[in-house]
Every structure is written in C-alpha cells, then in structure tokens.
C-alpha cells in the first residue's frame, strides 16, 4: 500500500524540507529557552544579561514564527495534495516559496545572532514584537518581509491547486482538509497586511535611514493587527490535526464535518478585529475601541468552545468503537500508548487550561493585574507552546512516516517525550501564571530588584523560580528526545506501509453543511468589512494625533559598551572607565544613570 511519499514524491520533498527547517529552529529555540529559564530564575547564569535579550529575541522568532510556520506550510502542503488527490500545479513555485521563506529566515536569524558577536556590527535585540522606536539592523526587517511574502506565495500555490481541482470537480464540496487550509490562508492574507505595511512602509525605510522618524503607536497598532491573528495561524494546523487526525487515531471518526467548517469560517471572520486587546493599557486609543476589541475577543471563544465539544465527542466515539463504556471510563479505552494520540490529547487538555487564562487576559479591567507580567508568557506557553507545539510534535509521529516512507524509530521514546513535555509545562506555566499575579514582569533578564521584593501569598518566589527552571529543563530534554527520534526515523530504510494513513469519513458528512459555508469569497468580504469597521477609526485617530511618520527617531539596540561606559564615567567621575568596563559595564552604566541628576 502506497503512502504520501509514493503518490506525491515531489510534494513529499517539500514537506520534508519544511519540517527539517522547523525542527532545526525548534532545537535552537528550545536550547535558548533553557538558558533563559535558568538565567532569569538566577539558578545558572552562563551569559551576560545583555545577551539574554538576544537569546530571547531568537527564542521568540525561531519558535513562534519559524518552527510553527514552517511546520504549518509542511502540513498544509500535505493536506492540499492529499485532500485534492492531485499534485501541486507547479512544483517550481512550491520550491520558490520555500526558498524565499528560508532565505528570509536565515537573514533574520543572522541579524539576531550577530548580537552575540561584538565584532559584527549588527544587532536585532528587539524581541519578536520589534516595537519601534527600538531599532534593529535592516536585515532583521528585510528577512521578516521575505518570510511573510514567502507565506503569501505558498497560499497562492494552494489556491492555484484549488482552482485546478475546482475545474475538474465543479459540483463537489471542498474536501475538509483543503477547506481548512484555504480558510486559514484567507485569514492570513487579511491579517498580514498590517505587519507588511508596518515593516515595508515604515520600519525598513526608517532602519535604512530613508525616513527620519516613525509613529511608535501606529507601528505598534499595525503589529497587533497582525499579532493576534498570527496566534490562530499557529493554531489552525493544530485544529486541522485535531479535527481530521485525532478522531482517527482514537479509533473513530470526526463527529461533524459541517460544524468543523463553521468553526473555520468563524476564525476567518473574527481573528483580526481583536488585536487592540493587546493594547488595553496603551495610551492614545479611546476606551470605546478597546471595548469593541474585547467583545469581538469574547465571541472568538465560540469557535474554540465548539471545537472542544466536537473533538471530545469524536474521541469519545472512537473510544466506544474500541469497547469503551460508562460516563468517563471510556477514557481508559483510548490508545494512550500511541505517542501521536497521547501527545495531541494532552495538548488539547492543556489548551483548555490555557483558554481559561486567556479569558482572564481578554477581560479588559482584570487585565490591569496581569498585563506584561509573567502571567502572559505563562498563558502562551500553554497555547502556542503546548496546544500548538505538542500537537505538532505528536502529529509528526503520524505524518513523518507518510512523507518519508519510514516507520517511527521508537514509539516508547515518543510517548515518553510527549508526556515529558506536558509535565514540564505544568511546572513551568503554572509557576509563571502565579509569578505574574505577584507582579513579576515578563521579558526581563533579572527580575530581582533593589527597591522591593515580590510578595507571594501562597508558596514563595523561590519555589516559583525552582518550578520554572525545573519545567524549562524538562521541556528542553523533551525536545532533545524528539529530535533524536525524528533523526533516527529519518535514517531508517523505506518500508511499504509505514503507517495507516487513511482518514475515515465523518459521522455527519459534508452533504449536511449549507453550501454557503464553501463560499470563500463571501467570507472574505465579510472579514474585510469587519476589519474596516474595527480598525479605520483607531488608525485614523492615531495618524491624526501624531502624524503618519510621528516624531520618534531610531534608538538602535546595538549600543556600544564602551560608549555607554564612557558616558557613565564622564557623568560620575569617581567611576573609572576600567572598573566600569572590567566588571559588568552595563550594570555600572545603568547604576550611574540612575544617580545622575536629571538636568530637566
């Protein structure tokens, strides 16, 4: 019996290449994550705190953008070819977008990592949100732009495949997996427009010196116009696997095809007009706009709550097919020894917890308590860091055999690895949430201050730090086992039937879904209208208030240590330059800056 790699060898190569880039990024990003977890908890500091922000930028970009999105383009390419049962229209186009995305990634990664090498005059320690007027090297922004354009070309590739398929099948329903791919890409086109405008029209010319200033609130708002839908872009491949693969692994079939389509349509409509919920405490944006973003965000809970029902119902159906009985004892009949199933099920479980902490974030008045605290990374390590990342790792145990023709090297290692991830994240994310409630900030190399201590009502700050460091260690080990298992699988010999790759038909078939659900042009139109309604007035008022180009010059992150130490030395004559440069120059400079008498 042939599998994907036999039927679509050219497409399989692209999927393999995409996964390879994704997994390399995962390995590097996870390693940096370990260093950060040990550093900010003050358990082991192997780097200078200045370099912490270089690693943090790389961690965010490599994991949240490169790992997730390269895995996504791999899965989507697989889903399009498999779902439409035909090769992609022109494999050269497919390689072209892969090449562009990879080149952009390398450019951005070099710009970031050069920050670790003082001899190279390049730095991009601006974190993955790159808020202006902190200014990175132009290569950082140009690489990101290339990466985004690459994803646009990938979407075009899949829409061309859809057009060809539609030509041959004028009256058929769009198969479910390609339907999910196409709706996700519509959302992506609508939402990436914001970041593309921010990067191409403002940040690239500004970093090249072509324009003098930017409006920081404008570029920030354009970033968040994209910054929330991007989390659904990460999540949609996980949803695709939960809806179409998880029920099969559980021994059953999808509960309802029509409901799955409804969910994806809701994401097209509601993902973008919510971005201002990341700016609840930003000045310069009227409360009414924040209220609109809040209500839209709350309604965005609906597709995820529907997903919880459909996925659990499908899994329960599978368990009953396997002989499971009772109200809850059917859970025991599930294939918990299968790493693909166990990983996805645990990921879904943690997504429920992450969803609840997200509901807290979305509540605009309670958000004051947690905004920019450690609570926030605690939240998104449960969502993108587990719901998405663990589903992708677990899905790999089912997908990799199809695209390589090789059986998984070790299912026990796979099972151990996914469970280890779950346990590590339980430690790390619960402690991060609790730390956030104490006011411990996120994105901070040394959250240990001179003027005050954080007071813990339950447990202690030391105990929270230990949990974060221990959890981070388990997560890193999990990635090491995963990458070993993947590499060992890849090194095996091809076999005829590496995995059962059939996907059974849903219980409620697509024929029950109203035809209008497949009207992609209609949903695109409504999505655009909603975005125009939610964003025209805020953007217009930001531009009216401070101008299109604002008045903020760049503040390059590549601060020369000598210059800073000299400034400190000249301000405080008793701090000698040697002492400043010899010890920890930035800390000395910062201390000096603190004691400076402010002239104004």
Residues 374 and 464: their CA atoms lie apart, in Å, by 11
**51 and 116 Cβ atoms separated by less than 8 Å:** yes
39/248 with CB nearer other proteins:
39
Give the binding range for other proteins (CB under 8 A) out of 167-175, 362-370, 385-393, 518-526. 362-370
Q: Which is nearer to other proteins, 187 or 376 (CB)?
A: 376
> Given the complex with other proteins, which of 149 and 559 has the nearer CB atom?
559
Single out the catalytic residue among 59, 253, 277, 442: 442
DSSP 152-189: HHHHHHHHHHHHHHHHH-TTSPPPHHHHHHHHHHHHHH
Mark the segment that binds other proteins (CB under 8 A) among 90-98, 230-238, 369-377, 391-399.
Answer: 369-377
Query: Of the residues 4, 232, 409, 427, which is catalytic?
Result: 232
Query: Taking the alpha carbons of 417, 418, 424, 427 in that order, is the dihedral positive or negative?
Result: negative
Residues 47, 125 contacting (CB under 8 angstroms): no
Judged by CB under 8 A, the stretch of 12-20, 148-156, 423-431, 546-554 that binds other proteins is 546-554
The answer for residues whose C-beta is within 8 angstroms of residue 289's C-beta and 6 or more apart is 276, 534, 537, 538
379 catalytic, yes or no? yes
Q: Cα(349)–Cα(352) distance, rounded to whole angstroms? A: 5
Name the segment binding other proteins (CB under 8 A); options: 274-282, 463-471, 481-489, 490-498.
274-282
Determine the Cα–Cα distance for residues 369 and 239; give it in Å rounded to an integer.
31
| From 45, 320, 322, 443, the catalytic residue | 443
Tell me the CB-side half-sphere exposure of residue 479, using CA atoms within 13 A.
Answer: 24
515 binds other proteins, rule: CB under 8 A: no
Confirm whether 228 is a catalytic residue.
yes
Binding pattern to other proteins, positions 215-254, x when CB under 8 A? xxx--x----------------------------------
Burial of 198 (0-12, 13-18, 19+ CB in 10 A): buried
Which CB sits closer to other proteins, 281 or 526? Answer: 281
CA atoms of 368 and 310, how far apart (whole Å) = 34
Q: Which stretch binds other proteins (CB under 8 A): 15-23, 62-70, 90-98, 370-378?
A: 370-378
Q: Binding pattern to other proteins, positions 179-218, x when CB under 8 A?
A: ------------------------------------xxx-
Minimum distance between the CB of residue 417 and other proteins, rounded to whole angstroms? 32
Residue 216's CB is within 10 A of a number of other CB atoms, namely: 18
Of the candidate spans 18-26, 81-89, 323-331, 364-372, the one that interacts with other proteins by CB under 8 A turns out to be 364-372
Asked if residue 560 binds other proteins (CB under 8 A), the reply is no
Contact call for residue 591 and other proteins (CB under 8 A): yes
Binding-site residue total for other proteins (CB under 8 A)? 92
Of the residues 10, 90, 500, 545, which one makes contact with other proteins according to CB under 8 A: 545
Is 482 catalytic? The answer is no
Nearest to 389 by CA among 154, 201, 185, 231: 231
Kindly tell me which of 24 and 331 has the beta carbon lying closer to other proteins: 331
Q: Is 380 noted as a catalytic residue in this protein? A: yes
Kindly tell me which residue out of 139, 238, 362, 390 binds other proteins, with binding defined by CB under 8 A: 362
Cβ atoms of 426 and 386 within 8 Å: the answer is no
Can 92 be counted among the known catalytic residues?
A: no
Tell me how far the alpha carbon of residue 94 is from its chain's centroid. Answer: 23
Of the residues 202, 380, 397, 409, which is catalytic?
Answer: 380
Residues 398-457 that bind other proteins (CB under 8 A): 438-439, 441-447, 449-455
Quickly count: other Cβ atoms within 10 Å of residue 595's Cβ. 10
3-state secondary structure 103-155: HHHHHHHHHHHHHHCCCCCCCCCCCCCCCCCEECCHHHHHHHHHHHHHHHHHH
Give bridge partners of residue 508 from the DSSP assignment: 256
What is the distance between the alpha carbons of residues 211 and 142, in angstroms, rounded to a whole number? 16
Q: Interface mask (CB under 8 A) for other proteins, residues 285-324, using x and -?
A: xxx--xx--xx--xx-xx--xx--xx--x-----------
Nearest-CA neighbor of 63 among 279, 386, 361, 352?
A: 386
Containing H/E element for 556? strand 555-556
Q: Does 540 bind other proteins (CB under 8 A)?
A: no
365 exposure class (CB count in 10 Å sphere: 0-12, 13-18, 19+):
exposed
Tell me if 425 sits within 8 A of 386, measured CB to CB.
yes
Looking only at residues 51 through 90 of this chain, which bind other proteins when binding is defined by CB under 8 A?
A: 53, 56
Nearest residue (CB) to other proteins, 160 versus 301: 301
Considering only residues 91-130, where is the footprint of other proteins by CB under 8 A? 125, 127
- Which residue's CB is nearer to other proteins, number 92 or number 600? 600
Catalytic center residues: 228, 232, 379-381, 442-443
């Amino acid at each position: 019996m042939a599998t994907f790699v036999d039927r679509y060898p050219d497409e399989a190569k692209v999927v393999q290449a995409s996964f390879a880039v994704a997994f390399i990024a995962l390995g590097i990003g996870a390693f940096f994550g370990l260093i950060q977890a040990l550093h900010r908890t003050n358990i082991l500091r192997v780097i200078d705190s200045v370099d912490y922000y270089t690693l943090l930028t790389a961690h965010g970009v490599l994991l949240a953008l490169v790992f997730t999105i390269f895995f996504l383009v791999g899965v989507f390419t697989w889903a399009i070819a498999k779902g439409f049962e035909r090769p992609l229209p022109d494999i050269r186009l497919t390689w072209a977008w892969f090449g562009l995305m990879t080149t952009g990634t390398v450019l951005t990664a070099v710009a970031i990592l050069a920050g670790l090498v003082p001899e190279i005059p390049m730095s991009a320690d601006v974190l993955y949100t790159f808020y202006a007027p902190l200014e990175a090297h132009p290569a950082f922004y140009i690489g990101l732009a290339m990466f985004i354009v690459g994803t646009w070309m990938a979407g075009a590739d899949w829409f061309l495949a859809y057009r060809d398929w539609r030509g041959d099948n004028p009256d058929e329903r769009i198969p479910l997996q390609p339907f999910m791919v196409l709706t996700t890409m519509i959302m992506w086109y609508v939402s990436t427009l914001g970041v593309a405008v921010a990067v191409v029209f403002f940040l690239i010319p500004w970093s090249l010196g072509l324009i003098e200033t930017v409006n920081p609130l404008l570029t920030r708002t354009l970033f968040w116009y994209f910054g929330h839908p991007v989390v659904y872009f990460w999540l949609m491949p996980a949803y695709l696997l939960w809806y179409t693969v998880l029920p099969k692994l559980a021994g059953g079939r999808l509960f309802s095809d029509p409901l799955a389509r409804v969910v994806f349509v809701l994401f097209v409509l509601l993902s973008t007009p919510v971005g201002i919920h990341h700016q609840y405490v930003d000045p310069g944006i009227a409360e009414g706009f924040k209220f609109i973003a809040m209500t839209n965000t709350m309604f965005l809970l609906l597709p995820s709550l529907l997903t919880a029902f459909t996925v659990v119902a499908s899994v329960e159906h599978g368990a009953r097919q396997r002989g499971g009985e009772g109200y809850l004892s059917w859970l025991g009949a599930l294939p918990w020894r299968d790493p693909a199933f166990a990983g996805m099920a645990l990921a879904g479980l943690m997504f429920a917890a992450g969803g609840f902490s997200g509901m807290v974030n979305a509540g605009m008045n309670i958000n004051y308590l947690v905004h920019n605290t450690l609570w926030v990374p605690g939240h998104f390590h449960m969502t993108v860091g587990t719901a998405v990342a663990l589903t992708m790792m677990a899905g790999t145990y089912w997908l990799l055999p199809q695209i390589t023709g090789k059986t998984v090297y070790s299912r026990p290692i796979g099972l151990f690895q996914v469970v280890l991830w779950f346990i590590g994240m339980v430690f790390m994310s619960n402690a991060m949430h609790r730390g956030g409630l104490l006011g411990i900030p996120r994105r901070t190399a040394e959250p240990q201050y001179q003027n005050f201590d954080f007071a813990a009502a339950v447990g202690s700050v030391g105990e929270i730090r230990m949990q974060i460091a221990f959890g981070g260690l388990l997560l890193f080990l999990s990635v090491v086992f995963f990458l070993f298992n993947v590499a060992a699988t890849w090194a095996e010999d091809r076999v005829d039937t590496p995995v059962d790759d059939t996907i059974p038909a849903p219980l409620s078939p697509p024929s029950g879904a109203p035809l209008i659900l497949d009207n992609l042009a209609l949903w695109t139109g409504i999505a655009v209208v909603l975005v125009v309604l939610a964003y025209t007035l805020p953007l217009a008022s930001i531009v009216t208030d401070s101008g299109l180009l604002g008045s903020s010059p760049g503040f390059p992150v590549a601060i020369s240590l000598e210059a800073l130490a000299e400034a400190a030395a000249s301000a405080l004559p008793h701090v000698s330059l040697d002492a400043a440069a010899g010890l920890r120059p930035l800390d000395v400079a910062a201390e000096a800056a603190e004691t400076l008498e402010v002239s104004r």
